[in-house]
Amino acid sequence: MNAHRDVDTLVIGGGVVGMSVAYGLVRAGESVRLLDGGDNAFRAARGNFGLVWVQGKGLGNTGYARWTMAAAQEWAGFASELADLTGVDVELSQIGGLTMCLDDAELAERAGGLATIRQQIGGDYCFEVLDLAQLRELSPLVGPDIAGAVFCPMDGHVSPLRLLRALFQGFASLKGELVASVQVSAIEYRDGAFHVCTSSGNHVAGKVVLAAGLGNRELAPMVGLDAPVKPNRGQILVSERVRPFLRHPSLHVRQTGEGVVQIGDSKEDVGFDDGTTLEQLSRITARATRCFPLLKNVNIVRTWGALRVMSPDGFPIYQASTTCPGAFVVTCHSGITLAPRHAGALTQWIRGGTEPTDIHGFRAERFHV
């Protein structure tokens, strides 16, 4: 006997990953309820740098390289769709991105890694190695004592806050249901449905998607899945508004549509400490001002730390439960870049379609061989 179901699908987690999946499902015609945590939750979206980034993704994993490239190619259409539906401009600029390299060894290593990816996936992987003179044709205000950069025409950036707003508004306009400030304490699969117990009541659905970031570690075993994720801190500085100087975002410095500059360049294993440290902030600003000396005279107005959601090998975890059919885990640390894929190809699989070939290697069993 099947249990009464409130909705077709429950999505747990309202960050960029969860919102992208929830939006894709409700767009496809499912009834969807999104359960989101409170303001005190550890949110990777708070520290998102906003990059739509291909270069460097997938070294040693061709599936991830192809999955990322497909997402980047879908971004223009995805942004246009959200704007048409909600009126929100996510400020997508996708005219290419730069990875600045401070010396010849760093430049050679970066270029070598991208050449390896291009060889692994069969050649369809565009990038260009620029010396300082060539770099200054794209970014005239770059500093004099760096070696050059790698340019990838597929890269770009968006406003993470505007993207979240567009996803929320799109989800709501398509009759998606949001339940905010709740904590999931238990998930039970019985009578062909998922019974989810939360701090504000119980919910019953035919499917459940775990997109709770670091919370997936505790939730996944409740439905026969595994999500061995851990936090990795990144620190970010935000400047006052500056006259436009950086058309192409770089891996560590980008200028937003409002003119402010975001600077970030740290990966720290510090547990659940999402604070900031003077040591790291000083190191981040030193590299940024070496790349762009004009930043030496710019005021910093805000700093913060946020926790990335990292698997042991850094690649996503996508998996369907075999013991609790209809349960899925979705976790990654590139939620912005992969948003079109999460709202598209991934949700088609969740709805019963064929699992995308490129994600076959992202099941958690790979960590137990």
Q: What is the Cα 181 distance to its own chain's centre?
A: 22
Q: What is the pLDDT of residue 7?
A: 96
pTM listed for this prediction:
0.95
pLDDT value for 124: 83
pLDDT tens sequence across 331-361: 999 999 999 999 999 999 999 999 999 999 9
Partners of 327 in the β-ladder: 208
Contact call for residues 21 and 347 (beta carbons, < 8 A): yes
DSSP H/E element including 285: helix 278-291
Averaged pLDDT of the chain: 94
Task: Give me the pLDDT at residue 45, please.
Answer: 53
Q: What percent of the chain has pLDDT over 90?
A: 89
CATH architecture of 230-310: 2-Layer Sandwich (3.30)
Q: How confident is the model at residue 149 (pLDDT cuts 50, 70, 90)?
A: very high
What's the CA gap between 65 and 129, in Å, rounded? Answer: 19
Q: What pLDDT was estimated at residue 28?
A: 98
Structure tokens at 131: 């010396």
Residue 40: pLDDT band with limits 50, 70, 90:
low
Question: What per-residue confidence (pLDDT) applies to 37?
Answer: 85
- pLDDT band of 48, cuts 50, 70, 90: confident
At 43, the pLDDT band (50, 70, 90 cuts) reads low
Q: What superfamily would CATH give domain 7-51+161-228+314-368?
A: FAD/NAD(P)-binding domain (3.50.50.60)
Q: Is the pLDDT of residue 38 over 90?
A: no
Q: Is the pLDDT of residue 368 over 90?
A: no
> Is the predicted pLDDT of residue 301 greater than 60, yes or no?
yes
* Residue pLDDT, tens place only, 213-266: 999 999 999 999 999 999 999 999 999 999 999 999 999 999 998 999 999 978
- pLDDT of residue 39 exceeding 70, the answer is no
Distances (CA, A) of 315 to 45, 64, 172: 17, 7, 30
pLDDT for 5 equals 85
Render pLDDT for 62-98 as a digit per residue (tens, 0 to 9).
999 999 999 999 999 999 999 999 999 999 999 999 9
Q: Is the pLDDT of residue 42 over 70?
A: no
Q: What is the pLDDT of residues 124-144, one digit of tens each?
A: 889 999 999 999 999 999 999
Domain spans in the chain, listed from the N-terminal domain onward: 7-51+161-228+314-368, 97-153, 230-310
For residue 333, give the nearest of 317, 349, 346, 344 by alpha carbon. 317
pLDDT over threshold 70, residue 170: yes
Yes or no: say if 348 and 342 are a contact pair by the CB < 8 Å rule: no
Give me the mean pLDDT over the 173-192 stretch: 96
Q: Is the model more confident about 54 or about 41? A: 54
Give the pLDDT band (50/70/90) at residue 44: low
Nearest of 251, 260, 257 to residue 291 by alpha carbon: 251
C-alpha distances (whole Å) from 127 to each of 58, 153, 213, 344, 358 are 14, 7, 31, 26, 22
Residue 354 gets which letter from DSSP? P
Spatial CA neighbour of 298 closest among 141, 99, 115, 81 = 141
How far apart, in whole angstroms, are the C-alpha atoms of residue 238 and residue 102?
A: 22
